């Protein structure tokens, strides 16, 4: 049953993946056309050299041929094109940068979930209390704060000011120290600020969600039964309510994945975190359109796959789901 | 006929035991009595007025233009003369922040309007038509929404180097998806209601039906969606300008001011604090107002 359900989901996701690959390609062609940066500015290049280089990059072909080459490359050969800067495969760059992005994103999601559940449950249990109101306020603020500003303010406080006050300070950027870095402690210290900033926005969304789904579970009949047979509120929540109220969170995390990855780009830029987001940003700055196209398509595919996993995981976790 | 209409119109007042008021008036009053919402609306209006009168304020109140450089007064901390200090070229921060409001508010509201028009049309057509048209349009929305927004913005704005208007079009290109989903759901549920069936049976065309009968009923949902979106649009605009892919200097925007300030936070922290605080406050006010509008206008919440 489950594998049939999973298979159906995979089949449903395929057109979306193909659509994403087509849409990104067309958008890139609409904005950038066949422009290759630098070629027209280099006085050492003769016109025939330019023509040769353009031919090697494939930008002298008609649009439908380029599109066919792009689709065949992505789906049949795992080839996301070549960088306009140095001609190296885009996918190679992505693989080098991906571990850093995964490290940051996964840590941020874990922090978000680990804090959202207790915060959400606590405000649901004390609904209308001062604590609940405070947490509501913080989550509204979390939704309104620009991530890049939050990042800069954290750097200002924990890196610059703390250093000035002689307190233990945190590094302001990078994945590890340039000199003598790379040991576990060094890596963790570098991860703290960017992961906290990235998790903050989703923390507020997710804790709101846990709060409302806990409130919903609390009014169920089985909760009344649990309390009627003498369980304390707290114990009833931990034994019966928690699992039912956090299962929907899986779907929400899947749905927020585009947001988390988009936020990752901004946070990576602020903290010079060497991930796929920073790669995209640097490539955009140097007009490397094929690189931007490649990373965008790759990240969008990751979102579709992430949603798929969330769907299947949800079905596994919640036995009430009928596979239909 | 006339009598019958009058009787029907008079009836609700008698039944409910209170004066008959329109949906809009009732929702408006509910919004007005929400003190937090009025405060937020006040702040947004204040920002809008400041943005509109920016040239006058620069001339008569702050006495600096946003591009006036003063190389003898670099990195002045907040104080007399320059209320919020000066930046790396000696430009007055307060004046630049006021001009920045022009960009953020223009982009915020223009983008919301554009996504309403596009998303509303697509959603209405998809929901009313159903079938293959619906499937095709909604798959397109799925596709656009599964590409993380900022990557899409970067893809679109790398070569364009946009101004406020082109930036609005770029953000709206991504933003209409959510609106169209909401409007579609609304149109889908309205489609089978008696008054729509009745209108169709007397021969009204599809366009007339959508504009005269579906649109007014879908309007509350659209207004709620738009008012909740403005805050996120302002955030997106400032993020893009911060990355150097949105509004280009010398036009000041809160995002590109932060991007410049980023290099100087070691000695001039206030350059980082003020533009970010402006973004935060504007988004906070707009979002809280959006929440209040949802509470007041959303028919499903009553």
Bridge partners of residue A89, in order along the sequence = A82
Contacts of B223 (CB under 8 A, 6+ apart): B293, B297
Predicted-complex ipTM score: 0.84
Residue of chain B whose alpha carbon sits nearest to that of A12: B139
B250: cis peptide before it, omega within 30°? yes
How do residues B199-249 score in pLDDT, each as one tens digit?
A: 888 888 888 888 888 888 888 888 888 888 899 899 999 998 998 888 888
- The alpha-carbon gap from A104 to the nearest alpha carbon of chain B, in Å, equals 16
Residue of chain B whose alpha carbon sits nearest to that of A18: B143
With cut-offs at 50, 70 and 90, classify the pLDDT of residue B294.
Answer: confident
pLDDT of residue B299: 61
Q: Please report residues of B whose CB lies closer than 8 A to that of A204.
A: none
With cut-offs at 50, 70 and 90, classify the pLDDT of residue B5.
Answer: very low
When pLDDT is averaged across residues B84-105 and rounded to a whole number, the result is 83
* pLDDT > 90 fraction of chain B, expressed in percent and rounded: 19
Contacts of A260 (CB under 8 A, 6+ apart): A105, A108, A109, A198, A202
Contacts of A57 (CB under 8 A, 6+ apart): A36, A82, A84, A87, A290
Q: Taking Cα atoms as reference points, which of A65, A60, A64, A32 lies closest to residue A48?
A: A60
Whether residue B147 and residue A266 make contact (CB cut-off 8 A), yes or no, is no
When pLDDT is averaged across residues B185-197 and rounded to a whole number, the result is 85
Distance between first and last Cα of chain A: 10
Whether residue B159 and residue A32 make contact (CB cut-off 8 A), yes or no, is yes
> Is the pLDDT confidence value at B302 over 80?
no
Q: Report the alpha-carbon distance of residue A313 to residue B280 in Å, rounded.
A: 36
Q: Please report residues of A whose CB lies closer than 8 A to that of B244.
A: 285
Quick one: tokens of B57? 């304020």
Residue that the structure tokens 């906290």 belong to:
A196
With cut-offs at 50, 70 and 90, classify the pLDDT of residue B3.
Answer: very low
Backbone angles phi, psi at B11, to 5 degrees: -60, -50
Quick one: tokens of B230? 């403005």
Contacts of B51 (CB under 8 A, 6+ apart): B98, B99, B101, B102, B105, B106
How do residues A245-303 score in pLDDT, each as one tens digit?
A: 777 788 788 877 877 888 889 999 999 999 999 999 999 888 888 898 899 999 888 88
Closest Cβ opposite residue B287 in set A144, A160, A307: A144
Instruction: Please check whether residue A67 is in contact with residue A18, taking contact to mean a CB–CB distance below 8 angstroms.
Output: no
Instruction: Please check whether residue A252 is in contact with residue A261, taking contact to mean a CB–CB distance below 8 angstroms.
Output: no
pLDDT of residue B17: 57
> Is the pLDDT confidence value at A216 over 90?
no
- The alpha-carbon gap from A20 to the nearest alpha carbon of chain B, in Å, equals 5
When pLDDT is averaged across residues B13-42 and rounded to a whole number, the result is 75
CA dihedral B123, B124, B126, B130 (to 10 degrees): 140
Bridge partners of residue B86, in order along the sequence = B92
Contacts of B276 (CB under 8 A, 6+ apart): A146, A149, A152, A153, B254, B258
Q: In whole numbers, what is the pLDDT of chain B averaged over residues?
A: 82
Instruction: Please check whether residue B297 is in contact with residue A177, taking contact to mean a CB–CB distance below 8 angstroms.
Output: no
How do residues A158-169 score in pLDDT, each as one tens digit?
A: 888 888 888 888
B147 touches chain A (CB under 8 A): yes
pLDDT of residue B149: 85
How do residues A35-49 score in pLDDT, each as one tens digit?
A: 777 777 777 777 788
Q: Taking Cα atoms as reference points, which of B253, B148, B254 lies closest to residue A146?
A: B254
Whether residue A265 and residue B269 make contact (CB cut-off 8 A), yes or no, is no
CA distances from B213 to B187, B195, B204, B216 (A): 10, 9, 10, 6
Quick one: tokens of A305? 């796959």
Q: Report the alpha-carbon distance of residue A33 to residue B275 in Å, rounded.
A: 35
> Is the pLDDT confidence value at B13 over 50?
no
Furthest C-alpha separation in chain A: 88
Q: Report the alpha-carbon distance of residue B214 to residue B208 in Å, rounded.
A: 9
With cut-offs at 50, 70 and 90, classify the pLDDT of residue B301.
Answer: low
How do residues A63-102 score in pLDDT, each as one tens digit?
A: 888 888 888 888 888 888 888 888 889 999 999 999 999 8
Whether residue B283 and residue A144 make contact (CB cut-off 8 A), yes or no, is yes
Q: What is the 3-state secondary structure (H, E, C) of chain A?
A: CHHHHHHHHHHHHHHHHHHHHHHHHHHHHHHHCCCCCCCCCCCCCCHHHHHHHHHHHCCCCCHHHHHHHHHHHHHHCCCCCECCCCCCEHHHHHHHHHHHHHHHHHHHHHHHHHHHHHHHHHHHHCCCCHHHHHHHHHHHHHHHCCHHHHHHHHHHHHHHHHHHCCCCCCCCCCCCCCCCCCCHHHHHHHHHHHHHHHHHHHHHHHHHHHHHHHHHHHCCHHHHHHHHCCCCHHHHHHHHHHHHHHHHHHHHHHHHHHHHHHHHHHHHHHCCCCCHHHHHHHHHHCCCHHHHHHHHHHHHHHHHHHHHHHHHHHHHHCCCCCCC
Whether residue A303 and residue B284 make contact (CB cut-off 8 A), yes or no, is no
pTM tops 0.90: no
Q: Please report residues of A whose CB lies closer than 8 A to that of B287.
A: 140, 143-144
Contacts of A253 (CB under 8 A, 6+ apart): A109, A113, A206, A310
- The alpha-carbon gap from A27 to the nearest alpha carbon of chain B, in Å, equals 7
CB-CB neighbours of B243 under 10 Å: 23
pLDDT of residue B6: 47
- Which burial class, exposed, middle or buried, applies to B194 when counting CB atoms under 10 A from its CB (0-12, 13-18, 19+)? exposed
pLDDT of residue A170: 81
How do residues A2-12 score in pLDDT, each as one tens digit?
A: 788 888 888 88
């Amino acid at each position: 049953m489950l594998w049939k359900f999973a298979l159906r989901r995979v089949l449903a996701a395929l057109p979306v993946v193909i659509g994403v690959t087509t849409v990104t390609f067309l958008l890139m062609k609409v904005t950038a056309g066949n422009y290759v940066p630098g070629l027209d500015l280099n006085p050492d290049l003769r016109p025939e050299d330019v023509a040769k280089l353009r031919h090697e990059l494939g930008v002298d072909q008609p649009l439908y041929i380029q599109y066919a080459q792009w689709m065949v490359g992505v789906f049949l050969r795992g080839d996301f094109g070549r960088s306009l800067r140095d001609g190296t495969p885009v996918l190679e760059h992505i693989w080098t940068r991906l571990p850093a992005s995964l490290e940051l994103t996964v840590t941020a999601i874990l922090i978000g979930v680990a804090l959202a559940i207790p915060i959400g449950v606590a405000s649901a249990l004390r609904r209308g209390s001062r604590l609940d109101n405070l947490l509501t306020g913080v989550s509204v603020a979390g939704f309104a704060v620009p991530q890049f500003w939050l990042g800069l303010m954290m750097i200002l406080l924990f890196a610059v000011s703390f250093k000035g006050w002689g307190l233990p300070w945190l590094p302001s950027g990078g994945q590890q120290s340039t000199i003598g870095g790379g040991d576990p402690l060094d890596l963790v210290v570098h991860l703290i600020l960017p992961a906290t900033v990235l998790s903050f926005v989703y923390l507020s969304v997710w804790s709101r969600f846990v709060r409302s789904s806990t409130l919903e579970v609390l009014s169920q009949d089985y909760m009344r039964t649990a309390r009627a047979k003498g369980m304390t509120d707290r114990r009833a929540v931990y034994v019966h309510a928690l699992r039912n109220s956090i299962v929907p969170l899986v779907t929400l995390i899947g749905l927020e994945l585009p947001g988390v990855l988009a936020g990752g780009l901004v946070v990576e830029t602020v903290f010079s975190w060497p991930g796929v987001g920073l790669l995209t940003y640097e490539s955009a700055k140097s007009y490397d359109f094929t690189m931007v196209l490649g990373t965008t398509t790759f990240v969008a595919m990751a979102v579709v796959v992430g949603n798929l996993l969330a769907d299947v995981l949800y079905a596994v976790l919640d036995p009430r789901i009928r596979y239909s | 006929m006339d009598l019958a209409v009058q009787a029907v119109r008079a009836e609700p007042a008698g039944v409910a035991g209170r004066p008959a008021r329109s949906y809009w008036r009732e929702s408006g009053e509910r919004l007005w009595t929400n003190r937090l919402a009025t405060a937020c609306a006040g702040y947004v209006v204040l920002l809008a007025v400041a943005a509109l009168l920016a040239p006058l304020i620069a001339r008569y109140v702050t006495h600096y233009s946003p591009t006036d450089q003063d190389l003898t007064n670099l990195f002045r901390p907040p104080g007399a003369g320059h209320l919020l200090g000066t930046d790396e070229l000696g430009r007055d921060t307060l004046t630049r922040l006021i001009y920045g409001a022009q960009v953020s508010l223009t982009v915020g509201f223009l983008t919301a309007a554009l996504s309403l028009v596009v998303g509303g049309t697509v959603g209405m057509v998809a929901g009313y038509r159903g079938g293959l048209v619906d499937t095709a349009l909604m798959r397109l929305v799925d596709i656009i929404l599964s590409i993380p927004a900022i990557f899409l913005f970067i893809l679109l704005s790398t070569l364009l180097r946009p101004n406020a208007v082109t930036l609005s079009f770029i953000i709206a290109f991504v933003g209409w998806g959510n609106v169209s989903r909401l409007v579609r759901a609304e149109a889908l549920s309205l489609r089978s209601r008696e008054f729509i069936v009745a209108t169709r049976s007397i021969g009204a065309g599809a366009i007339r039906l959508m504009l005269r009968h579906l649109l007014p009923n879908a309007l509350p949902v659209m207004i709620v969606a738009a008012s909740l979106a403005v805050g996120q649009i302002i955030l997106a605009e400032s993020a893009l300008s911060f990355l150097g892919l949105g509004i280009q200097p010398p036009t000041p925007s809160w995002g590109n001011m932060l991007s410049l300030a980023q290099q100087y936070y070691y000695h001039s922290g206030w350059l980082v604090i003020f533009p970010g605080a402006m973004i935060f406050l504007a988004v906070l006010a707009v979002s809280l107002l959006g929440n209040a509008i949802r509470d007041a206008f959303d028919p499903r919440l009553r």
